[in-house]
């Protein structure tokens, strides 16, 4: 089965490719000659993932899935949420996003947060939605140099260290994206 993953983020593409069974050929936007900038104009993660999947299916005719992920910090009313990638403004910059968030939490004792991923799948004319959540907390300083985005300052519950200290295999087993993609993989393995 061929599926397009509607992302230009090479880190996400690599992470997801490692999780899919060999029976699924994952195509990137570049693979289908899509160089369009698909603007995320929705106000929810679910809305943005559906928007991206629909864009590829409608314009290029491929079975496709897309994701949107947000870091939701409870004491900040679930911010940065849907705006996580551009929290510190445009152009997107992970380091600036982390520094802004750490600055906003400087005097906060309660630092509970969750990463949440919504995956929209368009498959043979049908539409499906999967969600993954990883609960944890925001650290007071960066830790580790693996991963991407907010990984160096997010420590998942039940672990002593941030996502950025984990191998991709370790992270994929517990991460928000890993959980959502696992639901997608389980669904695809039963799909006829």
The residues annotated as belonging to the active site are: 68
Please tell me the number of Cα atoms within 13 Å of 151 on its side-chain side.
Answer: 21
- Nearest one of 37, 4, 15 to 146, comparing CA atoms: 15
Q: Which residues, other chains included, contact 47 with Cβ-Cβ below 8 Å and sequence gap of 6+?
A: none
Cα→Cα distances 1→14, 52, 59, Å:
18, 20, 20
CA angle at residue 166 from 162 to 168, to 5 degrees?
A: 130
Rounded-to-integer distance, Cα 58 and Cα 52, Å: 10
Would you say how long the chain is, in residues?
A: 192
Residue 68 near residue 52, CB atoms below 8 Å: yes
**With 0-12 CB in 10 A as exposed, 13-18 as middle and 19+ as buried, what is 124?**
exposed
């Amino acid at each position: 089965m061929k599926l397009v993953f509607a992302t230009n983020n090479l880190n996400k593409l690599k992470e997801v490719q490692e999780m899919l069974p060999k029976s699924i050929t994952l195509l990137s936007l570049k693979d289908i000659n899509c160089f369009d900038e698909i603007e995320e104009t929705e106000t929810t993660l679910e809305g943005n993932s559906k928007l991206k999947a629909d864009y590829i299916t409608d314009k290029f005719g491929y079975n496709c899935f897309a994701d949107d992920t947000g870091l939701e910090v409870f004491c900040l009313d679930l911010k940065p949420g849907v705006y996580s990638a551009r929290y510190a403004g445009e152009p997107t910059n992970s380091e600036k996003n982390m520094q802004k968030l750490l600055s906003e939490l400087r005097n906060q004792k309660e630092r509970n947060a969750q990463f949440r991923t919504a995956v929209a799948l368009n498959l043979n004319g049908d539409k499906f939605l999967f969600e993954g959540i990883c609960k944890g907390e925001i650290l007071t300083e960066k830790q580790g140099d693996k991963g991407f985005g907010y990984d160096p300052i997010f420590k998942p519950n039940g672990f002593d260290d941030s996502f950025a200290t984990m191998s991709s295999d370790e992270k994929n087993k517990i991460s928000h994206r890993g959980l959502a993609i696992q639901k997608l993989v389980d669904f695809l393995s039963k799909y006829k």
